[in-house]
Amino acid sequence: MITARGIERSFGTLKVLRGVSLEVQPREIVAITGASGAGKSTLLHILGSLDRPDAGELILSGINPFSLNERRLSAFRNQRIGFVFQFHHLLPEFTALENVMIPAIIKGSSRSQAQRQAAELLSSLGLDNRAAHRPGELSGGEQQRVAVCRALVNHPDVVLADEPSGNLDSAGARDLHELFFKLRDELGQTFVIVTHNPALAGLADRVIAMRDGMIA
């Protein structure tokens, strides 16, 4: 699903990634761990084509995203990659249903099709009775599940999650972790998750530990 070779990234004189190479298989749940400043989030952003490496190669689903022009790269990212962040980044003026619909509409789906897909996802995650609520009316766990639905609405090849349970209490974090594995088992979804949470890392198929910009 993902092959990264020799990824390097610097910000000014600070070298954040020092030749990182890794592979992620379809249906695999991979956790990336390490201390703050180890380069985890920078690596995840490059895997998601949100940032470009200074050196190295990335292949996702057989495609080098950085060989695409900006328009095609945006479409690739929208259709092939789902993102879940610690802070859900839901749009406060839209309902849960509308937030989930947005990537599908950007992809070019009709409004009725996007609404149907979003409603099905919300229902499958136990949020059908919260679809008409705005983010401010939802609990933290509910907001994060809406964000997961949004990440899944275009049936991406991989979901990249950056500290997805970092803003949740222990019960909410446990529910979210169980959800990832349910989605892998039922939908065949692939996940790469940056986390400080040892419980989540311990459940993953594989843990990649980073230290000082390298895989330890």
pLDDT tens digits for range 21-38 = 999 999 999 999 988 888
97 in any annotated domain: yes
- We report the CATH number of the domain holding residue 197 as 3.40.50.300
User: Domain containing 135: what range?
Assistant: 24-52+69-215
64 in any annotated domain: no
17 in any annotated domain: no
Residue found by looking up tokens 């594989």 in the block: 206
Query: How many domains, in total, are found in the chain?
Result: 1
Q: Residues 56, 5: contact at Cβ < 8 Å?
A: yes
19 in any annotated domain: no
Answer yes or no: is pLDDT of 49 > 80: yes
Distances in whole angstroms, Cα of residue 54 to Cα of each of 12, 37, 92, 176 = 11, 18, 35, 34
Answer yes or no: is pLDDT of 87 > 80: no
139 in any annotated domain: yes
CA distance 97 to 133: 8
Residues 6 or more apart in contact with residue 81 via CB below 8 angstroms = 48, 49, 60, 156, 157, 158, 159, 160
pLDDT tens digits for range 64-74 = 999 989 889 98
Residue 6's pLDDT band, with cuts at 50, 70 and 90, is very high
* 11 bridge partner residues: 14
